[in-house]
Each structure stands twice: as structure tokens, then as C-alpha cells.
Structure 1
């Protein structure tokens, strides 16, 4: 019986440990401004609100999927941007923005919404709405393929 309990504890500990390693590296908008200058890479901005149920579902189901985590971390700088946060301020291209005013400047009007920027920090496109893991990776992959050609 002790062996069974010990084995279950080891399995549980392993699952918790691997789940913690399987995360998207999220940056603030201002961190990405510095990062992209040093190492150019495309940017994936998750524009969300605190009340958005589909945003929470993306966080829980899609952004914890190993394939999504690996793909996003390898190909993008990922940013979380709260479309209703008036307090978090940063400077971008000589202007001061809050996360709310940046979301408006990017013309985001539904949530969740994923704004894709190139390494020059120009908006390329938006992917609005909830996405399951495989279709999300497929959409990002298609976008990258089209952008490279």
C-alpha cells in the first residue's frame, strides 16, 4: 500500500512540475519594444478583458497546450494586453499609451483578439475569437508562411 501511495505522489509531483514548465512566456508591451530591437521576432498580442469568458477559456485550454506553447515561444514574443486597463502606461513611438488606449489604437473591438505584429512592430492582422489549440497553431503557421513569402 505504501508503494502505491508513493507512486501516486511521484506521478502527481511529475505532472505538476511538467505543467508548470509548459507555459507561454508572456511579456509586457514595453518589454517587447526592447526585445525586438535586440532580436527581431514577430509579436503575438493577446488582447483580453477580465470579464471575457472566452479569454479565460483560451488561457485555460489553448495557452496551456504543449504544441501551442512551443510554437508561440519559438516564433513570437507573446504579450498580454488588457483592453480595459487604464493604469498600465507605456511609451510607443513617442506617444504615451495605456493598455486600453493601445487596444483602441489597434482597432480591437471583440475579445479575445490576437493582434499580430511584424518585427518592425507594424500591425499585420488580427485573429479574433476563441481558438482551439490545433486550429490556433494552424492559423499562426499559415500567417507566418504567407508573411515569409
Structure 2
């Protein structure tokens, strides 16, 4: 009996304490990720209808950096709540065979799309604008790409920077300057 209790306790500790669950495809599934038909034009329209920004999360099975992001960053309520409130998230499997339709209308597998988008490693987060010309692929239309695993501060700053449309030239603050300012503000205790 004691062995069973110890095993159950160990198994409980191994499960994520946040909202993410491991899917059948070996990728983490956050509560704010959408299960769509992966027609990116439809996803963009739905995101716009909800007043959210479309973002693509490219991940792969066994990715230690994806695990780190889900365990250490997306598990933080500030980050998770912000993403859930402001973003329409579609997950793309770097090596997946599920058919998707890119924003330019091309239908291809997830792995072919990620090759087309020149995604070399995971996680890779692709942020999209509200409007995309008909003949433009997701990577061509992207307003920002977050390649790799980053800490909470960098992640929340990137999601906020995109959501506030600071990438537009007339807003005058590129991401590096914005992020440096936000770090100083956090260090000074002025986070609002």
C-alpha cells in the first residue's frame, strides 16, 4: 500500500500544476490554444471577430525549450492570462502531417509549412497583423517572430509590444528599446 501511495504522489508531482496538458501528438496543450481546422485565413477572421491577435506557436515533440516555456513561463498567471485575453493561438507541429492552409491560400502539411516559413527550431512564435494581403504567406505577413525560449519578462514584453502595435513605425519604439525600458521599470517597481 505504501508503494502505491508513493507512486501516486510521484506521478502527481510529474504532472504540470498549470493548465497545460500533454496531447496525443506529444505537444503541450494550454487552455488558451485553439483547436481549429488550421485554415489560417479563417483563424485570422475569427481572431479579428473576437478582438484578438492571431499568433502561431510552432513546437515539436520532445522539445526541451518548449517544455521550459510551458513549465516556467506560460504557467505564470500573468503571462497565461494576458495571452488568453489578447491572443488567438494556433499550435503548429514542426514535424506534423496535419494539413493547413497558409494565409496565401496554399494547402500543405504542417512540416511543409514550417519549412516554407524557414522555421529551424522550436519554440517559434509567429505574430500576425489583423489584415494580410491575399497573396502573402504567414511568415511574410508576420509583424514579429519570437524564435526560442525566453524568460517571463521577455515573453510578456513581446506579447505586449505586439498587442500594443509598437512595431508600427509611428509608435517609435522598437522591441529592444521597449524591452529595456520595461526591465528598468520592473527593477524600479513601476510595472504599470
* CA drift at 1:38: 4.2
Q: Given the alignment of the two structures, is residue 134 of structure 1 paired with residue 172 of structure 2, yes or no?
A: no
**In the alignment, what sits opposite 1:54?**
65
Which of the residues 94, 103, 126 maps onto 2:105? 94
SS across alignment from 1:30: coil
Matched-pair contact (CA < 8 Å) for 1:24–1:78: no
* CA drift at 1:106: 1.9
Bigger relative contact order, structure 1 or 2 (CA pairs below 8 A, ≥6 apart): 1
CA distance in 1, matches of 2:71, 2:60: 15
Return 5+ residue gaps in structure 2 as ranges: 1-16, 21-29, 133-140, 172-192
Matched-pair contact (CA < 8 Å) for 2:38–2:99: no
- TM-score normalized with structure 1 length: 0.73
Matched-pair contact (CA < 8 Å) for 1:45–1:81: yes
* CA drift at 1:39: 4.7
- Relative distance call for 1:117 and 1:97 in structure 2 (3 A) is same
CA distance in 2, matches of 1:35, 1:115: 14
CA distance in 1, matches of 2:37, 2:57: 11
- Relative distance call for 1:29 and 1:110 in structure 2 (3 A) is farther
* Count of residue pairs brought into register by the alignment: 130
1:121-149 deviation per Cα after TM superposition (whole angstroms, max 9, x unaligned): 52112111112223210122123331464
Return 5+ residue gaps in structure 1 as ranges: 1-17
Write the mapping of 1:104-115 to structure 2, written as runs, cut at 5 A. Answer: 104-115=115-126
Which of the residues 59, 64, 78 maps onto 1:67? 78
Aligned-pair Cα RMSD in Å: 2.5
Runs of 4+ residues over 6 Å off in structure 1: none
Which structure shows the bigger proportion of residues in helix conformation? 1
**In the alignment, what sits opposite 2:45?**
37
SS across alignment from 1:120: coil
CA distance in 1, matches of 2:37, 2:129: 14
